[in-house]
Amino acid sequence: MPPRIRKAVFPVAGLGTRFLPATKTVPKEMLPIIDRPLIQYAVDEAIEAGCDTLVFITNRYKHAVADYFDKAYELEQKLERSGKLEQLELIRNVLPPGVRAVFVTQAEALGLGHAVLCAKDVIGNEPFAVLLPDDVIWNRGPGALKQMADAAEATGASVIAVQDVPRSQTASYGIVATDGFAARQGRIRAIVEKPAPEVAPSNLAVVGRYVLNPGIFELLEKTTPGAGGEIQLTDAIATLLERETVNAYRFQGTRFDCGTHLGLIEATIRYALDHEKLSDAARQLMQNALNELGVEDLA
């Protein structure tokens, strides 16, 4: 049986320019949905999928990400002394026991492909996951990465998350062409980074979750800058699928692009409306806002 993924890579060395000025000092991955930063949603998804080694590709400005996963002794002591055990539990569970965090610096933001390549020595010769934390995937059942890891374990093939997007949006995504789908999976025949709608091979867009075989590293080493002058993961995957099977996986769940303003707003609304304690009040707040602005009822 092919091995189960144990290691997950989180490329968080991008500049996050779409969220300036906030991202001048706060890394994009630390922006919250309610009370948890985006990175925590991705980390929880990786742990649920069975990963116990989390590899963060950071840059020298992103101390906040490393600090967040570090132990906060003073805070823990204070919470313990004042009997705030619920809050204590929350900060202790940022990384559960048995899960380790490794930080690798990407000296220059040369692209997502280059960021993944920075993890090579930590990953070694085994399949691994890549999660882009600004893609938040909400699902009541198993997380997207768990669904994909199960599929990868069954076949041994690399698996890439995809979703259908309007054709007008293909230039914002990596787009795949596949053989027919059996259940949620179809073999990828071609992958192109950000094609214009007229030349896009389909409207199936790559979303920020990957399970990759380690052969990708050798290909990334040979990949030259592509779209936007960056070393693109998509270009290395295009070569990988000439050598081995790479499957597209239509995950169950709703993906929010929290790298954009509207995506972060949408995710916040979704998590608030689905929140155990906040949902009724959140619904009322939204209704009040619409009333005050003179907008008709939500229904």
In the complex, which residues of this chain contact ligand UTP (CB under 6 A)?
11-18, 28, 57, 106, 109-112, 114-115, 132-134, 259
Beta strands 185-193 and 158-164 are unpaired
In the complex, least distance from residue 236 CB atom to ligand UTP, rounded to whole angstroms? 14
In the complex, least distance from residue 157 CB atom to ligand UTP, rounded to whole angstroms? 23
Distance CA 37, CA 49 (A): 19
Instruction: Pick the closer one to ligand UTP by CB: 202 or 232.
Output: 232
The β-bridge partners of 192 are 175
Instruction: Pick the closer one to ligand UTP by CB: 112 or 211.
Output: 112
In the complex, least distance from residue 53 CB atom to ligand UTP, rounded to whole angstroms? 18
Distance CA 96, CA 193 (A): 36
Q: Is the peptide bond before 21 cis (omega within 30 degrees of 0)?
A: yes
In the complex, least distance from residue 63 CB atom to ligand UTP, rounded to whole angstroms? 15
Instruction: Pick the closer one to ligand UTP by CB: 233 or 282.
Output: 233
Instruction: Pick the closer one to ligand UTP by CB: 14 or 143.
Output: 14
The CA distances from residue 255 to 42, 173, 243, 246, 251, in Å, are 12, 14, 30, 21, 10
Instruction: Pick the closer one to ligand UTP by CB: 18 or 184.
Output: 18
Q: Which of 92, 10, 11 is nearest to 51 (CA)?
A: 10
Position with the least CB separation from ligand UTP: 14
Instruction: Pick the closer one to ligand UTP by CB: 65 or 219.
Output: 65
In the complex, least distance from residue 102 CB atom to ligand UTP, rounded to whole angstroms? 15
Residue whose token pair is 């690399």: 158
In the complex, least distance from residue 43 CB atom to ligand UTP, rounded to whole angstroms? 13
